[in-house]
Amino acid sequence: MIELKTPAEVEAMRPAGRFVASVLTALLEAADVGVNLLDLDALAHKMIREAGGESCYIDYHPSFGASPFGKVLCTSVNDAVLHGLPHDYRLRDGDLLSLDFAASINGWVADSAVSTIVGKHRDEQDQRVIDTTEEALEAAIGVAKAGNKLGDISAAIAQVCHGAGYAVNTQFGGHGVGRTMHGEPHVPNDGRAGRGLVLRPGLVIAIEPWLMRGTDQLYTDRDGWTLRSVDGSRGAHSEHTIAITDGDPLVLTAR
């Protein structure tokens, strides 16, 4: 069921968006060569406790997860692109790190993701795939306006990604956000403009383009959660929670 938020409810979601953005900013600053993924998770956990918030991940156990997630942050490194389960791994120079974080503040959820290259060594193709997900996200937000269709968002993402030469996986994508992390509608990363749900003020969704450099096919790691590219190529992930308004979309998780 798709739920539209009132203007007051959208306003009430702002603290969650600001908090999620602040955590990702802190994590980006902390992510450096030699830093353990478990330390990044601990930092996010500490910030949740200090804010009086709740994790959306720690007890999360959907059908595609082997067990409750058990951590508060997704840390996907290199050939991992989604749902990376934090583990005992120290970041290395040149690693491509994606951070995905969602939390609830005062009963409202926000969800966001960002990718970065760790250290001084920067592979041009890694930066290109990061830049493409960010450009696709910006293009999608640009058409997320009342009266347009959900397919316009999907088509905008696909146009950027296909235009850069990447294949697009539609197995995982964006989603509705509100009192819970995942709700209707599903927001695919590929689709046809002018099709689907009419965007109306009060609709709050997470838009999240993600790509892998050499494939659109995934497999699940032995940890039961981390999704990796089948060919070992690196991936990137960008995401914001936005609200449809009477005017321009409101990016709740803007950093």
Binding residues: 83, 100, 111, 175, 182, 208, 239
Structure tokens at 97: 């790190």
CA distance 161 to 211: 8
What is each CA distance from 215 to 127, 219, 233, 254, in whole angstroms?
Answer: 17, 11, 7, 29
- Specify the residue for token string 């290109």: 128
State the Cα torsion 132-191-65-72 to the nearest 10°: 50
Structure tokens at 11: 């306003």
Q: Contact 81/228 with Cβ under 8 angstroms?
A: yes
Residues in the annotated binding site for substrate: 83, 182
**CA end-to-end span of the chain:** 30
Structure tokens at 184: 């209707």
Residues in the annotated binding site for a divalent metal cation: 100, 111, 175, 208, 239
